[in-house]
């Protein structure tokens, strides 16, 4: 699938005009991934683009914090998107501030210590387990059938995905 097909799909999904323009004007993988992050609510709500399409970005996607079907250990990443069947252990220490988006059938184990602050959106059938020590905080918002144990705060959204305008 080329970029023109991505734009056509985004139009069918009623993507916003600024997002469509940003997508059309993207000239590199980095710009496409920036567009993805800038429109993360839309992209996650619509599974757009597909996991298979994102996998084509390979190391570029992972370098920018997007993982699909990976088993991995992470240390202090700031922004992460976990898609498909990921099995991730993420450790946060010091004064790290982080944002994680987890979707599909991901398992996420967070180890937060010191003064780390981690915010997670867990969608679909994601499982989050958090080990929190020191003054660390882990705040998890649950959508769909997602589940969480051990977080400092758990917010049940009682809907399957984000509310889009």
pTM of the model: 0.95
Handedness of CA 46, 164, 118, 80 (dihedral sign): positive
**Which tokens is 1 given?**
């699938």
Residue 100 CB contacts under 8 Å (≥ 6 apart), including other chains: 79, 80, 81, 82, 90, 108, 110, 118, 119, 120, 121
Question: For residue 144, what pLDDT is reported?
Answer: 97
* Tens of each residue's pLDDT in the chain, 165 residues: 588 899 999 999 999 999 999 999 999 999 999 999 999 999 999 999 999 999 998 899 999 999 999 999 999 999 999 999 999 999 999 999 999 999 999 999 999 999 999 999 999 999 999 999 999 999 999 999 999 999 999 999 999 999 886
Length of the chain: 165
> Among candidates 70, 155, 74, 161, which has minimal Cα distance to 119?
155
């Amino acid at each position: 699938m080329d970029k023109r097909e991505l734009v056509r799909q985004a139009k069918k999904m009623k993507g916003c005009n600024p997002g469509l323009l940003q997508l059309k004007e993207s000239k590199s993988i980095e710009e496409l991934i920036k567009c993805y992050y800038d429109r993360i609510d839309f992209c996650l709500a619509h599974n757009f683009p597909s996991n298979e399409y994102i996998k084509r970005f390979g190391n570029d996607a992972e370098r920018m914090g997007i993982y699909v079907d990976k088993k991995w250990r992470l240390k202090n990443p700031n922004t992460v998107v976990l898609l498909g069947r990921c099995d991730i252990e993420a450790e946060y220490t010091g004064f790290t501030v982080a944002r994680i988006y987890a979707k599909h059938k991901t398992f996420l184990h967070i180890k937060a210590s010191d003064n780390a602050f981690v915010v997670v959106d867990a969608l679909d059938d994601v499982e989050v387990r958090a080990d929190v020590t020191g003054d660390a905080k882990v705040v998890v918002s649950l959508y769909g059938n997602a589940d969480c144990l051990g977080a400092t705060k758990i917010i049940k959204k009682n809907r399957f995905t984000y509310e889009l305008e």
